[in-house]
Structure 1
Amino acid sequence: MAGRGSRLRPHTLTVPKPLIPIAGKPIVHRLVEDIAGVINQDIEEIAFIIHKDFGKQVEIELVAIAEKLGSRGTIYYQNEALGTAHAIMCAKDSMQGPIVVAYADTLFRADFTLDTSADSVIWVKQVDDPSAFGVVKLDGERIVDFVEKPKEYVSDLAIIGIYYFKSGETLRAELQYLLDNNIVKGGEYQLTDGLENMKQKGLKFVPGKVDEWMDCGNKNVTVETNTRMLGFLHQDGENLVDANVKMENSTIIPPCHIGADVVLINATVGPNVSLGRGCHVIDSSIKNSLVQTHAHIKNANLDNAMIGNHASFDGKFTSISIGDYSVLE
């Protein structure tokens, strides 16, 4: 998660993309919880690969996420964007025994049992347009090829960026080989090159098929992911409205996540809205939107909006995207 998240600016200028909240919980927090549910095993350690500029407070928050799952949190740094294989190798000291590797801007919903007899499991999702993704080709239930953005149809199973490896040591050795021999594509060391080498040596790769795959790459898809996650949590019967919400002549239309100490006055909120802790919404209507903590919104009619922490908005715009501490009055 060392990337700058440039496609989600201005929201990633002050907060790393994986810490943007979806339905009231940071993306990376939801991701590690969902992975834990699929593997159904105790997790000894969660290693976060970040940029050193993220700051100590971010590191504290990440370690806390690991500890909530009964794990040890470890921080590693990737300060140059040299590719996925290079990023993973920044955490080589933690690559022992069975491991999961995940890119931290992806959320998923899945109900499959992890095949721990395989050398590797690659999470995939059936997609309508496989030409936009890296895909896997199957022979029965075994992966026999990886194809990056195929121009001609070979498979509709897109790789979503989550991988299980029975042996972290084996993966580490293959990626070290790429680094030692300067095997690069587009100036970067790629995980897929290491996977191809492992496959050529006869290691068994199988797919783990997910039911839903949600991206958080830019503002529009992040708002859409927030909407979809709220729907799933609502179906699961999860209580999404904090008991300390203060309401005056206001309506909440579910599904919505409403954080602690939110104040609603003459407001209609929902459906599909997340309001972070301490937000004030006055004389406004908000739907299909993601608002982070301590924002003040007045005289607004918002739809497909994303508003950062401590922002202040007073106006008649609708599909907006304003970052932390912005003021529009």
Structure 2
Amino acid sequence: MDLIALQHQLDNLSFLVLFLTMLIYWVGTAFRNLSFLNPLGTAGMAIGNFCIAGLLGARWIEAGYFPISNLYESLFFLAWGVTAVHLVVELSTENRLIGVFSAPLAMGITAFAALSLPPEMQASEPLVPALKSNWLMMHVSVMMLSYATLMVGSLLAIAFLIVTKGNSVQLQGSSYGTGNERLRAIRNQTEYATATASSSSSNTQTAVLDKSETGTTTQLSPQRLNLAQTLDNLSYRVIGLGFPLLTIGIIAGAVWANEAWGSYWSWDPKETWALITWLVFAAYLHARITKGWQGRKPAILASAGFIVVWICYLGVNLLGKGLHSYGWFF
């Protein structure tokens, strides 16, 4: 079988599968009574993950090295990471809301790689001497997985801001719970808020949030409050998974740099932005763990982190210089 032809078939197939999966998650969220769509969404992400893994495996066999050395390969590895993070979070929390945001992210990345990059950038090329190292797999794969995880967590934070319309929200309970215990707590709080609102003399079901700086009281429905709490918790947990990966990736890169060039750190544009990314998410976790931040403030910080991750990954390529540049297509 022609491995190059197989790669092109798999990259187009992965895009198609993820596009359909995105529609399934969106329709399933809009029409909750269509419960049969839930397993279809999970299956779609699993099939997309398998297609991308097959593409990368064929690339590995064809080129003879771990396929993460150019923009095309790294984009597909990033998309694979997004689908893998999605499956881990969805299966561990039994919450399919994450697919509404991770599916379009993975689909967009695959569309950019398969449909936008010119053929010469999609072709595999021999590695330069500096990349012929086992550190290539260790450093770059961990960094790409951290990017994927942090992007998903940041998207959930952006979704939180959209749901709450950017208002400060007094969330019930703590975000530090794990697994089903935290989700059960959220459901119990929502049931309590719903019962309280139903017994109110008012005919509107509302859950009172905290006061804004103007002194006016913001109100949300119990359902929207439940959604906001879920997004806040999922975002915190996913970012908490991505930050250690980013830390390990940066350390591995420093060790590799010292082995290859005799210096742990050279303030290359990619290195500088990786440090900025680390500082942004370190501030996010510090604020949540030690300051007890929840809701709007950490969500804004994580949203800024989403932009910073993309600058670190793709933005520095616009400079056209540095040891880490994948190059650009214009």
Question: Could you state the TM-score of these two structures normalised by the residue count of structure 2?
Answer: 0.25
- Where is the helix percentage greater, Structure 1 or Structure 2? 2
Q: Which has the higher contact order (CA 8 A, sep 6+)?
A: 2
- Where is the strand percentage greater, Structure 1 or Structure 2? 1
